[in-house]
Chain A
């Protein structure tokens, strides 16, 4: 994997994480925004400027790809590279979580 992409995206910003996580299913920006709002109990509300900027940047970097347009809304989905990055991040978050609970994580 491209080391530069890895450096830029890991660790991920909260916004970046939620967007990439949601795009494991096909969605447009406003869908993602609503999904994140509901899965975080209204705590994380991504604004449109932030959403648009993140989506364009992720598309440019090849983490997500454009699927189709529906009613002027662009629908995206995670790419193979994006999934790879997301998996690394998920592992990292899980380690953080387990450590925060006082658990020790065994190396593979």
Chain B
């Protein structure tokens, strides 16, 4: 029993959802986990984080987004490692880095000015948000309106229609939240730039 619980405590897999605009929240989350003695080991699938037990330590986690498949990854990783950042892996175009806070400057990040951070968000927008917008406008929204008409045009709508309507409505809310979220983050960052 004791050895069993010890084994269970050695590693854990946690599901945690972060939207495209939430990379800063993800960084903070991973840092808090490491502070609590859980070191990021691997990302299993989107949103599934595998941690292993470690000595609690303040470690800064950072994410970069690269959609250019022709880029020279070796040179890129070398530059980060010269600056003391341990490269972990790429997961769906996101590169993960970490560095112990004891070796970093106060609030050190992989971007030292707002322009380059905005450029990263532009890359995310171009390669992720635009496809999402196309799916939303061409599939989700028309289906939502169609189901809405089906539901209100019949006196007693079928359970299936109501169910589909609910699904498309939920999807619309999620999509819209994602866009609004992204827009707010972007604006906030730009404001910081102007000031």
Contacts and interface: CB of A to CB of B under 8 A. Distances in A.
Contacts of A28: 79
Interface of A: 13-15, 28-30, 33, 45-54, 56-57, 69, 71-74
Interface of A (DSSP majority class): helix
A72 B111 contact: no
Contact of A47 (B68, B71, B76, B83): B83
A50 B112 contact: yes
Given A15-B115, A74-B72, A47 B79 contact: no
A72 to B, nearest CB: 4
Interface range on chain B (Cβ under 8 Å from partner): 20 to 34
Contacts, number: 69
B55 interface: no
A57 B68 CA distance: 12
Given A30-B83, A53-B116, A53-B119, A47 B110 contact: yes
Question: Can you list the 7 inter-chain pairs with the closest CB atoms, starting with the nearest?
Answer: A49-B110, A47-B112, A50-B116, A30-B82, A72-B78, A74-B75, A48-B83
A49 B82 contact: no
Given A51-B79, A52-B76, A72-B74, A45 B105 contact: yes
